Amino acid sequence: EVQLLESGGGLVQPGGSLRLSCAVSGFTFSSYAMNWVRQAPGKGLEWVSDISGSGGSTYYADSVKGRFTISRDNSKNTLYLQMNSLRAEDTALYYCAKVRSILERLSGVFDIWGQGTMVTVSS
């Protein structure tokens, strides 16, 4: 069974840091690009970041560029999101999501989603 399991969320003060993890099982992790998508409380979905299957190529939304870093460890089947200089507007449920096709990276087509991990930035 394909499964994505996020962890690492919590309460952090403005300016602080947090690292999210997404443990993957059920498919060949290294073959697929992976993404982070977030959803602020009561709000819509916002794409955050993408990383290629090898980890050699990354993309970020302008809202997080320079503050967040996406990475992956294919030997551990795990995706990460290092979040620095956190702001109140980063408060959201963070989902990891698998790209549906090897050929459709950055197309916004995500066929498998985790259940999300909540990040709250507040003093």
Partner 1 sequence: QSALTQPASVSGSPGQSITISCTGTSSDVGGYNYVSWYQQHPGKAPKLLIYDVINRPSGVSNRFSGSKSGNTASLTISGLQAEDEADYYCNSYTSNSTPVFGGGTKLTVL
* Dihedral over Cα of 40, 105, 3, 64: its sign: negative
Q: Which of 54/107 has CB closer to partner 1?
A: 107
Rounded to a whole number of angstroms, the minimum distance from the CB of residue 13 to partner 1 is: 27
Q: How far apart are the first and last CA of the chain?
A: 40
Minimum CB–partner distance for residue 55 and partner 1 (Å) = 17
Residue whose C-alpha is closest to residue 18's, from 91, 73, 76? 91
Minimum CB distance to partner 1, residue 84 (Å): 20
Rule CB under 8 A: which residues touch partner 1? 37, 44-47, 50, 59, 61-62, 95, 100, 104, 106-111, 113-116
